[in-house]
Chains A and B, each alone.
Chain A
Amino acid sequence: MPPWSDFEPFIVSGLALGGVYALSGVGLVVLYRATGVLYLAFGAVGAMGALIAWSVQQAGAPGWVGWVTCVVFAAVVTLGYGLLFGPPLAGRDPLVKAVATLGLTLVLYGVMDLLWTTSGGEARSITLPTDNGGFTVASIQVDWTQVIGLAAGVVITVATGAFLRYTKLGTAMRAMANDREITATLGVPVRKVEAAAWLGCGVLAGVAGILLADLVALDATTLTFLVVSSLAAVLIARLRSIAVTFAAAIVIGVVHDLITPITSLTNYRDMTPFVLAAIALLVVSRRQVISRSREEA
């Protein structure tokens, strides 16, 4: 076992990694609460947006143009998907809706590899101006982008939680996610609310995409399947509480990095999200059967 001081920098990097998982995980739960769909294409949409931003920057445009393009792209694709496939699948089991988004994920993944090949040993990367400069904690540097990543997670958690609970539009979204038919009969403008929910989701995916591309890697495979690790946090929160998702993601990130200096376990550290999610789910389900009933929102 290494001495305690060796673990300190890993706590800091673990918090940053947790922030990454949180950004993704919170986004997924927010979308689920607002639309009833577990939007598994969240990572893929953000990845493709980030690659488009990269291409835009390579073509000579200033950085911010790229970011805006990324967010716009993510918003358009997500809105398009929601409007096209939201209504036909609205009455189906959440599992079906989630698997349908896997279809979108595959389409985007294929397109990304076609358009941004990896044949030249190209190492693409996105840098944000906040990458330079930061402060030092536990003898390692923390850059502002990581702080923004963590802060974005917090802001999204708090803001969307409040939005969904206290505003009229947010309440309408939650009702629709619960039961579209009944909400329509209550006079809620279903199509408009739906569009607003998906649009918001898309913007979220785009912002997360740029941040994650900077914080993790600009690689289609990594970013697309990062959602799998953040799903662990989502599962621990049982797809319900945004705040629990955030907290779980942070814990997962910190535990994952704390295992790094332990030589006997270090190669298994990528199992952390999966093991923690499995334990949490199985412990909780010991007494009850867990199912996604319509009444839970």
Chain B
Amino acid sequence: MRIRAAVIVALLLFVLFGIPQLFSLYYVDSMTEVAVYSIVALGLGVLVGRVGLVSLGQVAVLAIGAWAAARLLFATTQPYPVVLIEAGLITMVAGMVIGLPALRLRGLYLALITLMLAGAITVVLDTINFPNGGRGFLGYNGSAVTPPPIRLPSIAANDKAYFQYSVVVAIVMFLLVFVHTRTRPGRAWAAIRQSEPTALATGINVTLYKLWALALASFITGVAGGLLAGASHYLYSIDFPAQNSIILLAVVLMGGAYSMWGAVVAALLYQFLPALLQNWGVSADWLTILFGLGVVQVLTTAPAGLADQVPRDLARLGRLLRRRLARARPMGPMGPVGPAAAGGDPQ
């Protein structure tokens, strides 16, 4: 357990300080997006993995967060962390208001209604556009020739610093979710995912905890939206097409909806792979195809996704190797000499 924590800390330190030094700005920018979308993927993972609510509209939620953050950044001079929290709260309230009636639905219906709601939000955003420094509630000036960019935090006004800033915010969001999973909400969610009627029977207020999950997912997605606003400098509604929600679900399923590492893997698939392929001259369409295949593959064979399977596969590989080596080793009176080949692990 301690080794694991140490590894995680080491990895985070590398990400925070190593990546800006080692990678070109192109990849640092791409990694900033990975940080942002890892939070979004984490939110979707909470909904799908912990509570079993499939949402096909998380990109619309992200857009709401980005909208709110952009509006506040233009209209006020509040410090960035305050704006991020406010964007998160606004998105949380919106998510709960829109989501609460929908919670009465289950399974396929719920997923489809999230798709419908996302479609509606997308149309609204297409029409009102994102704030670009204009006045009025919507803050959009359609005639502006050179709209101003969205401001950056004063302590992170360049690419590398903003990357580190995003990673820190992402870590905070992950910790927030982590704390939830280890305390009462987490246990309630696990019970609900196992069997909703049983959970009800044991006195768990299912609706409340579902709403809580929705609130948590919406809050962190809203914060991610705020980060995205800063990273993008200019926001356009064409950046949030409804079909991206489908791709987001695909990568979350592939990365693993049940674990927090899965969210990071999902974000890497969603943002880093395209940047890589773009550099190698490979069309992004191949990725769409890959994600499609990945979804089908995951659902038919490995529902826990890559983040769960890869460590398990590596561990299995390790045991396989050890057993092979053990057979090659000379046998002592008590069996193979050397590290004991433990009996076959149950799957």
Closest to B116 in A: A274
Q: Given A113-B285, A228-B119, does the pair A102, B295 have CB atoms closer than 8 Å?
A: yes
Given A99-B253, A113-B285, A228-B242, does the pair A38, B105 have CB atoms closer than 8 Å? Answer: no
Interface size on A, residues (CB 8 A): 51
Proximity string of chain A (225-269) to chain B, C-beta cutoff 8 Å, 1 when within and 0 when not: 100110110110011000000000000000000000000000110
Q: Does B321 contact A (CB under 8 A)?
A: no
Instruction: Check: A123 CB closer than 8 A to any chain B CB.
Output: no
Complex CA gap A221/B246 in Å reads 13
| Contact residues in B for A239 (Cβ distance below 8 Å) | 108
Q: Are A94 and B107 in contact (CB under 8 A)?
A: yes
The answer on a CB contact under 8 Å between B292 and A290 is no
Asked whether A95 lies within 8 Å of B300 as measured between CB atoms, the reply is no
With A113-B285, A285-B104: A278-B116 Cβ-Cβ less than 8 Å: yes
Q: Is the CB of B120 within 8 A of A274?
A: yes
Bound-state CA distance A104–B297 (Å) is 11
Cα distance A231–B123 in the bound complex, in angstroms: 16
Residues 199-227 of chain A, each 1 if its beta carbon lies under 8 Å from chain B, else 0? 00000000000000000000001000100
Q: How far is the CA of A212 from the CA of B246 in the complex (A)?
A: 23
Query: Does B286 reach chain A (CB closer than 8 Å)?
Result: yes
Shortest Cβ gap from A154 to chain B (Å)? 25
In angstroms, how far is the closest chain B Cβ from the Cβ of A120?
A: 16
Chain A CB within 8 A of B256 CB: no
**Which secondary structure dominates where chain B touches chain A?**
helix
Interface centre among B293, B295, B296 (most CB of A within 10 A): B296
CB atoms of A103 and B106 under 8 A apart: no
- The reply on A181 being an interface residue by CB < 8 A is no
A290 touches B294 (CB 8 A): no
> Is B117 close to A, CB under 8 A?
yes
Contact status B116-A232, CB under 8 Å: yes
Q: Is the CB–CB distance between B292 and A110 below 8 Å?
A: yes
Task: Output the least CB separation between A276 and chain B (Å).
Answer: 9
- Given A110-B288, A285-B105, A278:B250 Cβ within 8 A: no
Q: In the bound complex, what is the Cα–Cα distance between A38 and B246 (angstroms)?
A: 15
CB-contacts of A78-120 with B (<8 A): 85, 88-89, 92-96, 98-100, 102-111, 113-114
Picked from B243, B287, B295, the residue with its CB within 8 Å of the CB of A103 is B295
CB contact between B300 and one of A38, A85, A268 (< 8 Å): that residue: A85
Encoded as 1 (CB less than 8 Å from any A CB) or 0, chain B from 178 to 207 comes to 000000000000000000000000000000
Q: Which A residues fall within an 8 A CB radius of B?
A: 38, 85, 88-89, 92-96, 98-100, 102-111, 113-114, 221, 225, 228-229, 231-232, 234-235, 238-239, 267-268, 270-271, 273-275, 277-278, 281-282, 285-286, 289-292
9 interchain pairs (CB within 8 A)? A38-B108, A85-B296, A92-B299, A99-B249, A104-B292, A105-B292, A106-B289, A239-B108, A271-B119
Q: Which 5 A-B pairs have the closest CB atoms?
A: A106-B292, A103-B295, A110-B288, A107-B292, A110-B289
